[in-house]
């Protein structure tokens, strides 16, 4: 598989299976930017990881489902 797919799979596993924020953080570069529906633009790995931490704390049974 390609690099993008590998990164997406790692991120999904970090969020849904292991709930490992360190692993999740490694999916992003230090200067990454994410656009979220509720907080807008997040700049930097630390901000993105914190966003996911709050999400996971709020939604403890989070899952991603691939729909073909």
Mean pLDDT of the region 28-35: 95
Q: Tell me: pLDDT of 64 over 90.
A: no
Per-residue tokens: 9? 């799979």
Q: What's the predicted TM-score (pTM) here? A: 0.78
Mean pLDDT of the region 12-31: 90
Query: What confidence tier does 34 reach under pLDDT thresholds 50, 70, 90?
Result: very high
Find out if CATH 3.10.450.50 is the number for domain 3-58: yes
Cα gap 21→19, rounded to integer Å: 6
Q: Between the CA atoms of 53, 58, 62 and 64, what dihedral angle is there, to the nearest 10 degrees?
A: -70
51 neighbors 34 (Cβ within 8 angstroms): yes
Mean pLDDT for the chain overall? 89
Q: Which residue has the higher pLDDT, 60 or 22?
A: 22
CA angle 6, 9, 11 (to 5 degrees): 110
Q: Residue 35's beta-bridge partner residues? A: 41
Q: Where are the domains of the chain?
A: 3-58
């Amino acid at each position: 598989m390609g690099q993008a797919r590998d990164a997406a799979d790692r991120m999904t596993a970090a969020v849904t299976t292991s709930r490992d924020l360190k692993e999740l953080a490694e999916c992003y570069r230090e200067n990454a930017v994410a656009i979220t529906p509720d907080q807008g633009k997040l700049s930097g790995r630390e901000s993105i990881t914190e966003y996911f931490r709050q999400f996971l704390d709020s939604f403890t049974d989070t899952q991603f489902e691939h729909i073909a």
